Structures are given as C-alpha cells and as structure tokens.
Amino acid sequence: MNNPLLQDFNTPPFQSIKEEHYIPAIKKAIEIAKDEINSIANSTEIASFENTIVALDKNGEKLDRITSIFFNLNSAETNEEIQKIAKEISPWLSEFNNDMILNADLFKRVKAVHDQKDTLTLTPEQSMLLDKQYKDFSRNGANLDNDQKDELKKLDAELSKLSLQFGENVLADTNDFELLITNEEDLDGLPEGAKEAAKLLAQQKEKEGWLITLDYPSYIPFMTYANNRELRKKLSVAMGKKGFQDNKNNNEQNVLQIVKFRHQRALLLGYKSHAHFVLEERMAETPEKVLSFLNDLLEKAKPAAEREFTHLETYAKKLDSIDQLQKWDGAYYSEKLKKELFNLDQELLKPYFKLENVIDGVFEIANRLFDLQFEEIDNLDTYHEDVKTYSVTNSNGDFVSYFYADFHPRPGKRNGAWMTSYKSQQIINNVNDRPQVSIVCNFTKPTDTKPSLLTFNEVTTLFHEFGHALHGMLANTNYKSLSGTSVSWDFVELPSQVLENWCYEKEALELFAKHYETGETIPMEYVQKIKESAAFHEGMQTLRQLSFGLLDMSWHSGTTDITSVKDFEKEAFKNTQLYPDVAENCMSTAFSHIFQGGYSAGYYSYKWAEVLDADAFEYFKEEGIFNKEIASKFKDHVLSKGGTEKPMELYKRFRGQEPKPEALLKRAGLLN
C-alpha cells in the first residue's frame, strides 16, 4: 500500500509516482474493477436503472484515474521504460474491456433494463446513458457466440499492440533525424528567434552549430523562411519518410494489419466495413453521408485551390526561376507571397504574441463569455517543471475545475497539441465532483534574450486546445461517461474550433496582443491584414484537409487486398493532388490520427466541425462577439451538456436551426 497510485488521491500525486508503481497499481485496479463488475453481474436483485446502469457508469473509477495519468505521461513525458510498460499493460486493458463487454451475465442485466426502456420514466440524459451502455455491449460483440467472442478478443489485443507500435515508430523516426548546420549562411532567411532556438538546441545536445529537428517549432520556421532550397528539401523528405524507411521503424505492415483487423472486426460485428461501424455513432451516421459531404466541399474548393496553386507556382518561377513547385517550396513561397500581398510577416506579429499575454487573453475571453476566473497556483503536483497549474472558479466564487497547461517541447513529448483530463466531472452522492483538465502544446521555449513568442498559428492552436478544455471544465452532467468531451467525434471539435474565431477579432485581440517590449497594442492595420489573409490559400488548405479525410475513408471502406501502402495512397489522393508526388514519402505510415489516435473513419470531422463552428460564430457576430446571452446559450446547450443528448438536438437548441455550410464557404472566400 506504499504505492501512491493505490492511495486515495484527488489530484495526481506526480512527484511521488515512480515507474515501478504503474504495473502493480494497474494490476490491482483491474482486480478491483473486475470485482465491481462481478458484483453487478451476479446481483440477485432484479436489474434496474440504478443497480445496473448507474453502477456500471461508476465502475472502474480507480483504474480510470491511474490509466489517465499513465497514458498522459506516455504522450507528454515518455521514456523507454514508460513505453515498455505501455506495451505490457495495453493488452491487459484490452482484455479487461473485452471481458467486461463479453460478460454474458452483465449484458443480460443491461439488456433487461434496455428491453423495458419504454416503460421507465427516464430523463433524456438517463435514456442516453442506457442506450450508450447497451450499444457498448452490442457494438462490441455481446450478441456473438463464444467462438466469435474469442476471435474478437484476439483482434482487439492485436490492434492495441499494433497502434502502440505504430506511434512508437513515428516518434523514433522523429527523434532519430537531426539536421546539424555549421555554416551560418545555410540559415539565411531564418528569423533571429528561430536561429537562437536552433543554437540552444545544439548546445543542449553538446554540438557546435545550429540544430534543426522534425519537432514542429524547429521544422515549421525552417520550411517557411530558410532560403536554402536543398536543405528545405532534405528536411521535408525526412518528415515525409517517417515510418516509410528501410529501418526497424517501418510502419507499412502495421498499416496493412491495422486496416485488415479493423475490417475483420467490423464484419464479425455485422457491419459492412469499419467506416460503417464507426459512423453509426457519429453525427454523420453513414459513410455515404461523409463522402457526399467531402466531395461536395471538394467540388466547391478545388477550382479555387487550383487557381491558388498555379498563381503560387508562377510567382515562385518568376522570383527564383525554379523549374517546378515542390512540397518543400509551398510554405516558403506562400509566406513570401502572403507578405507581398498583405505586407504581413509572421515575424512582425510574433512580438505581439508573448505566450504569457496570450494565456491572459484566453482567460479574459473565457471570463467575458462564461464568467470564469483563473488563478495560478503552486500547490498541485506536476510531472515537469514547465507545467503550470490553475484553480478555476465562477463569478460566485464556486470551484469549477483544476487546469494544467504544458506549453514547451522536450525529448519524450510527442509533437502537436492536445487536451486531456485527469478526472471527469460527475455527480456522486448529490455532490458535483468537478473535473481536472489539461492542455499540452509545443511552443518555442523562452531564450536568454527573448520570451516565448508565438506565431499567429500557434495563437490559434492555444485557443483551439483551450476550447476543448472549456468543454471539459464546464461539464455539468450526472454521469462521467457522458461528461465533457465524451461526445461523438464529429461534434467534439465544435468548442475548440469556434474559439479560434476570437483570434481574428479586433475586440478580442486588443485584450492581449501587446508588444512584449513596448506594451503597444497590436496596430489595427495588422488586425485587418490578419483578417484579410485568413482566407489566403484557403482553397489549398481545404483541399489538403479533404485529401486526409478521403484517404482515411479509403483505408476504412472495406478494401483489404492492398499490397502497397504507397500505391493505395496515391490512388486515394488522385483527385486532390496539387504537388508532384515524392517517391520516398508516404503520408499513411505517419498518419497517427487514424492509426494511433481515435480518428479512424473520423478525420472528416475536422471539416464537419468547421461547418458547425462557422455557423455558430456567425450567430455570435450577429449579436456581438461578447454577447452574454449567446455565450450562455452556448454554455448551457453545448459546453455543459457533454453527450447527454444527440448532438444535432443540442446544436439546434443553441442555434435555433441546423448548421449551414454557407457560413464556412463565405468565411473561406470560396463562395463565388
């Protein structure tokens, strides 16, 4: 019992946890959860909503807490030992979930309650919980015979191992590549801040010169500003080769196996394909509807994308006499053209986006919209000194949530940005048990001479993840499995994407966009240019997102006789391709969203949510971007409700109508 993970704790006791604590704690927590399940399944009482459905929702509390800590660290602060533990415990967790889902006595009780649903007087939330639990069983094999159940278990254990391996291979290839520059001329074009960061990185690795890596804060500035085309090519090709090299990190077989096993799993459960299985529980409902949605947007965006590409290629040829525009030229010439068209240099904007000011800004916006106050505190344990912690309260002084924020890259932290939680909100014994929410990003660290200054893209990233965090923090439901971001995948991006809109508004920018040296507010002509340039190359950006969505749908639509990952991908990209193909590159082998994360047959949801967010923000703009009444409706019908009702019903209650794609097309400048 000296294991801190097995003690009762409110916030995670990071400082007390050692790596050797995880395996015994998870083993013990699985035992406890199994005992809880057995007592529900073997109860002699007649199955009721309370003793079966509610009891099941509360099951596995300790296991959830421990695994949320572990898997968050595996993403944000991993090492070889943690990765080894992840490999060991993942099959156990799969097996535990399968044993629960395939527990015939337990399912019998859930089914008994579900069968009498029409005679019970349930609230919409209770009704949703009952449906969700019944489907958790039926969609995961509860209606299968014993042989089929065994087959399902095997498939799930394999899939769990494969997706872990996939992620580790991508991370290994990311970490294995370094571009050490010893001739300063090779850094021509690079902003001073990026040079300093590269110098610092080299020093940390005890190397002479400047170090460029595949981590985004290092990679993006180099691809955007470095004049040396050969080095841009080297970096771009390395980024595109992740998981597609002749080394131990090759992911081609992992991709083919994952796709094959997902398809077999769907067939076993009575679905036509993995996409049919996934989409049954999404707002979109069917693959046909998704493909129709993607192809409709493609038809509208493609002419604009092709015009933009031709214009960019002509510009690049005129400027530097290059023979053909390649992938490693896109960001570089786009930035130059953007600067010429809008006289807007990302480097000019960065001094106005000091990280601390942007954090204060997003907090102030949350205060004006939702009456939230954020106070930085130092009495919570963290897993790294970079992590900041806050106590969140409402205008009455009531406690709302704890909030953790981890902003800077380091070895052992995966690329990108994400929101996660250490504890979900729920009501226990009539007490509203508040959540613990975290966001993780990868923004440039402060240097000796400069604070952390964000690009405008990084500002929108912070707002995006904070939007997810608000969804978690403002949760106000009875049951943890319906709380916060526990909503269908194509609805989960609405709160995050809608919040990005405030970054483009004068009223919002004036709150936080202040020069880090002079304190001067961002000049309004910059704000105007940010707005004008927001639709710059929107056709190409839309095409890129649609290409990922269509690739995802191709992988999961039921075709499994695939021999070449690269050939299959080329075929899927056929209608969306602008740049020449790079033979040694492959997107799928590092497409972590769909082969490691939860976006399989769901990548379309980014665009789907853009339609929702554009339509929702249009409503705010009609009434005022800080309009309390609209903000309250958004909080009451979307942010606080989690997955307690069908998402379209919640959206219509907020908006008064279904979303219309016109708002997105108008914002993106794609309407003729």
Catalytic residues: 465
Tell me the C-alpha distance between 378 and 37, whole Å: 38
* 265 within 8 A of 148, measured Cβ to Cβ: no
Query: Per the structure block, which two tokens stand in for 444?
Result: 């440039």
* 404 within 8 A of 378, measured Cβ to Cβ: no
Q: Which residues contact 266 (CB under 8 A, 6 or more apart)?
A: 272, 273, 274, 276, 277, 558
Q: How far is CA 453 from the centre of its chain?
A: 23
Tell me the C-alpha distance between 554 and 576, whole Å: 13
Tell me the C-alpha distance between 426 and 436, whole Å: 12
Q: Which backbone phi and psi does 626 adopt, to 5 degrees? A: -115, 25
Tokens 């080394």 correspond to what residue? 247
* 453 within 8 A of 354, measured Cβ to Cβ: yes
* 637 within 8 A of 519, measured Cβ to Cβ: no
- Coil, strand, or helix at residue 502? helix
Residue type (1 letter), 397? G
Q: Which backbone phi and psi does 559 adopt, to 5 degrees? A: -80, 125
Tell me the C-alpha distance between 335 and 58, whole Å: 51
Tell me the C-alpha distance between 228 and 187, whole Å: 7
Q: How many of the other CB atoms lie within 10 Å of CB of 75?
A: 17
Q: Which backbone phi and psi does 119 adopt, to 5 degrees? A: -95, -10
Tell me the C-alpha distance between 514 and 454, whole Å: 12
Tell me the C-alpha distance between 416 and 579, whole Å: 24
Tell me the C-alpha distance between 322 and 313, whole Å: 9
